[in-house]
A and B are shown apart, each in its own frame.
Chain A
Amino acid sequence: MATAEEGAKIFTRTKVHSCRGTVGDFKVLLECNGEKRTAAVEKVILAEDEKRISGFSSYGLTRTAKVMALSQLGELLHELSEDSSPISGIKTVVFLVGIDTESNSVIFEEIMQACLKLQAVQKLKIYILTKNLKVAANGLEKLYRDTRDAGVIYIKFTHTPPDIIQLADGSVCIEFTDEITGSILKLAADLTIVEEKIVPSDYSTDLSRIFELEKDLNGFSQGDNVHRLTVFTNRKGILVAGAARGVQSLPDQFVDADNAVLSLRNIEKQPADQIAGKAQIENGKCARCLTCYRLCPYRAIQVNTRVSIAPAACEGCGICLAECPRDAISLVDQTQATDSGVPVTEVIRPAGESFIPSITAFCCSRSAASAAQLSACMGKKLPRGYQIVEVPCGGSVSLSQILTAFNSNADGVMILTCHEGNCHSEVGPRHAQQRVEQIREHFRSIGLEDGRLVKKTLASNMGVEFAGTLVEFENQLLAMGPIRSKSEKE
């Protein structure tokens, strides 16, 4: 873990109100014991705790002496030991977990441990009613076997949920068809334990907003994107650990905390002159429309008296420059053969020969460009006339770049991006799709085939698919013939 010598300070009972700045230079407004103060910090780890919501309502149950939430049982079991006298009046215990929505291995571990503890005190009939048993964590398959050895019965509901009825005395009666045998079974529970959902705490949700973080489907402060694993976020220098980023067991949360500290040590404060490949706003051209500020997936745009881009936070995706209405943004030290930034070479058609379609493929450097190299290495059949324009992200290809390609004699243009959800900048494929749709609409209005512009997704290991995609496109263009507008055709 980080030590005080490394400059780590621990604030307790402290609330974060706002955060400005970028990695290496965050200004965080804190409130500690009623006093507000601004702290200058280089990096941030968010390690907020989880919140639990009991699932009574999703099973149509209310809390009674015979129906309790998982945490409540946990407290009860905490008091119990193997020497404890049996809990009176209880013979049948039912756990309801993950029937309406999927549960997780943390909850299942708690339930299975609870079963073993209960069985150790007294011989019970214990049933776990669920849809999918979650055992994808250390030791859980063994725990499952232990519970089966202890006589715990699992009943899974894939198609039809059970009928759960709470009787006047507060106990629960369940009737269902066993999906395996087709038998209709009835279960009267003396004690029913209802699962809990693990969700981000309210404050964790606040922190996601304050630090402008992508969230996952469940609202945790880490986007559903493989590039964010294990402890990273869309913002450089802001890391998430433990329950801040998802449902995790306590031991895993501690591992996460260690990972976060190690990762922070690896994020070197970049020297100010290291700006190659980063976006930069040209003095005097910027109209301060804040389009870039809205679009930047990494929140690297800083708005002070001037709008600027923090090189340390910029990932060089180029999404901002594709949308800048003043063409004020460029990537530093990138070869730019044309005004629009496309190193597109004009295609010269040999006179008198049959039609060979000319294809310009914009390829994301993180995926399709590697797939292109791979297809060449594999000796795959590729179209006769194509050129690859490597771009930092599919979302960086601007409308004018696409049109420039067509102006330079391309019969067809492809934008090849990462798969949705696998884009390092998260939004690249969506931007590419929007621009393609926009231009295709114009094509249709002037009588051009809209199939001349397509967007596809590829992963870096898809060399075969790269070749296949291009050859298929070539065939489509062969059918369309050379590019000509409606007026030219007439």
Chain B
Amino acid sequence: MPDSSEVIDLACLDHDKFKNWPYSQGYCITCGMCASSCPASGIDGFDPRKLIRMISLGLEDAIMESRWPWICTMCGKCENVCPMEIDIADAVRNIRALREREKVPGILHKGLTAALETGNNLRLPKEDYVFILEDVAEEIAEEPGFEGFQVPIDKSGANILTTIHNKLVNTHTEDLKHWWKIFHAAGEEWTVASENWEGTSWGYFTGDDEAMKVMTGRIYEQMQQLDVKNLLWPE
């Protein structure tokens, strides 16, 4: 957020700084449709229009320091209503990419570093992870109609590989059951990987293309190794 007391001389700004971004951001007419549609508008004074305006003026320092780009959830409602068809969410992601990685907000940076190092955001060891999955499977097997249910880990030649959002093996284990029961009822040939199973991609949210490539590459590798044709990536 710009410091409200500081006077910025427009002569010192390079308005063409972000001109080559391909998001039509320059055509903003500051109508505010995006601001009205945004579910995060008003948080810390944030609205999407401000970010587009800051890029247009070339307020580089202010936008890199601002909390605003990190408040956005990138849901894209703003883009749906923008009369000038500006790719606002893409622009927000690019703004996030401007920031030094060390200065990316805490949990995102920490989680992404962990994911790159260990294969998941939680640094959850393989044994613990497998234990949690099997524990959930046992609970399902106790329910009528699911007797003998087992979770197929690293099942070669399955039809579907599904990734796991880290919260599903942390605080929201119950949510795993819905998917698995559906697979079971449908008689689906499915599997989950014992390593590099992380489904969240905080490289996407932090504008880190390289990290995103690594995470995606690992999932692709899993598919290759397990000889699975289809991917269910519920993120």
Whether B53 lies near A133 (C-beta < 8 A) is: no
Q: How many interface residues does A have (CB within 8 Å)? A: 24
Per the 8 Å Cβ criterion, residues 168-184 of B in contact with A are none
Known contacts A180-B53, A181-B50, A183-B62; is-contact A125 B10 (Cβ 8 Å): yes
B: contact size bracket: 20 to 34
A155 CB to nearest B CB, Å: 9
**Which residues of A sit under 8 angstroms from B26, Cβ to Cβ?**
148-149
**Which of A175, A181, A188 lies in contact with B59, CB distance below 8 A?**
A181
**Which of A151, A175, A182, A188 lies in contact with B4, CB distance below 8 A?**
A182
B143 CB to nearest A CB, Å: 55
Q: Which residue of A lies closest to B47 (CB)?
A: A180
Q: Is A184 an interface residue (CB 8 A)?
A: yes
Q: Is A156 an interface residue (CB 8 A)?
A: yes
- CA distance in complex: A92, B15 (Å): 12
Whether B10 lies near A181 (C-beta < 8 A) is: no
**Which residues of A sit under 8 angstroms from B49, Cβ to Cβ?**
180
What residues make up the interface of A, taking CB atoms closer than 8 Å to B? Answer: 91-92, 125, 127, 133, 144-145, 148-149, 151, 153-154, 156, 175, 178, 180-188
Whether B27 lies near A184 (C-beta < 8 A) is: no
Q: Is B30 an interface residue (CB 8 A)?
A: yes
9 A-B pairs with least C-beta separation: A180-B53, A183-B2, A148-B26, A184-B7, A186-B9, A187-B10, A181-B50, A186-B7, A181-B53
Q: Which residue of A lies closest to B84 (CB)?
A: A145
Known contacts A148-B27, A181-B2, A181-B59; is-contact A175 B7 (Cβ 8 Å): yes
Q: Which residue of B lies closest to A145 (CB)?
A: B27
Whether B4 lies near A184 (C-beta < 8 A) is: yes
Q: Is B107 an interface residue (CB 8 A)?
A: no
Interface core residue of B6, B9, B45 (most chain A CB under 10 Å) = B9
Q: Is B218 an interface residue (CB 8 A)?
A: no
- CA distance in complex: A92, B53 (Å): 20
Q: Is B29 an interface residue (CB 8 A)?
A: yes
Interface core residue of B5, B16, B29, B49 (most chain A CB under 10 Å) = B29
Interface core residue of A91, A149, A178, A182 (most chain B CB under 10 Å) = A178
Q: Which residue of A lies closest to B49 (CB)?
A: A180
Q: Is B11 an interface residue (CB 8 A)?
A: yes
B18 CB to nearest A CB, Å: 12
- CA distance in complex: A180, B48 (Å): 10
**Which residues of B sit under 8 angstroms from A149, Cβ to Cβ?**
26
**A-B contacts, 15 listed (Cβ < 8 Å):** A92-B10, A125-B10, A148-B26, A148-B27, A154-B30, A178-B53, A181-B2, A181-B53, A182-B45, A182-B50, A183-B2, A183-B4, A185-B8, A185-B10, A188-B9
Whether A181 lies near B54 (C-beta < 8 A) is: yes
A132 CB to nearest B CB, Å: 10
- CA distance in complex: A133, B1 (Å): 27
**Which residues of A sit under 8 angstroms from B6, Cβ to Cβ?**
184
Q: Is B67 an interface residue (CB 8 A)?
A: no
**Which residues of B sit under 8 angstroms from A144, Cβ to Cβ?**
27, 29
- CA distance in complex: A133, B59 (Å): 23
> Can you name 15 extra interface pairs (CB under 8 A) apart from A91-B11, A186-B7?
A127-B10, A149-B26, A151-B16, A153-B10, A153-B15, A156-B30, A175-B7, A178-B53, A181-B50, A183-B57, A184-B5, A184-B8, A186-B10, A187-B11, A188-B9
Per the 8 Å Cβ criterion, residues 1-39 of B in contact with A are 1-2, 4-11, 15-16, 19, 26-27, 29-30
- CA distance in complex: A184, B5 (Å): 7
A1 CB to nearest B CB, Å: 39
A272 CB to nearest B CB, Å: 56
**Which residues of B sit under 8 angstroms from A125, Cβ to Cβ?**
10-11, 15
B164 CB to nearest A CB, Å: 40
Q: Which residue of A lies closest to B5 (CB)?
A: A184
Whether A183 lies near B59 (C-beta < 8 A) is: yes
B216 CB to nearest A CB, Å: 35
A440 CB to nearest B CB, Å: 45
Q: Is B56 an interface residue (CB 8 A)?
A: yes
- CA distance in complex: A13, B145 (Å): 101
**Which residues of B sit under 8 angstroms from A148, Cβ to Cβ?**
26-27
Q: Which residue of A lies closest to B2 (CB)?
A: A183
- CA distance in complex: A186, B8 (Å): 6
Interface string of B142-180 (1 = CB under 8 A from A): 000000000000000000000000000000000000000
- CA distance in complex: A187, B13 (Å): 11
Q: Which residue of B lies closest to A188 (CB)?
A: B11
**Which of A92, A127, A183 lies in contact with B8, CB distance below 8 A?**
A183
- CA distance in complex: A91, B1 (Å): 29
A455 CB to nearest B CB, Å: 39
**Which of A127, A133, A153, A185 lies in contact with B29, CB distance below 8 A?**
A133
- CA distance in complex: A108, B43 (Å): 36
- CA distance in complex: A149, B2 (Å): 26
B200 CB to nearest A CB, Å: 31
Whether B4 lies near A178 (C-beta < 8 A) is: no
B38 CB to nearest A CB, Å: 14
Q: Which residue of B lies closest to A156 (CB)?
A: B30
**Which residues of A sit under 8 angstroms from B1, Cβ to Cβ?**
182
A435 CB to nearest B CB, Å: 45
A240 CB to nearest B CB, Å: 33
A311 CB to nearest B CB, Å: 52
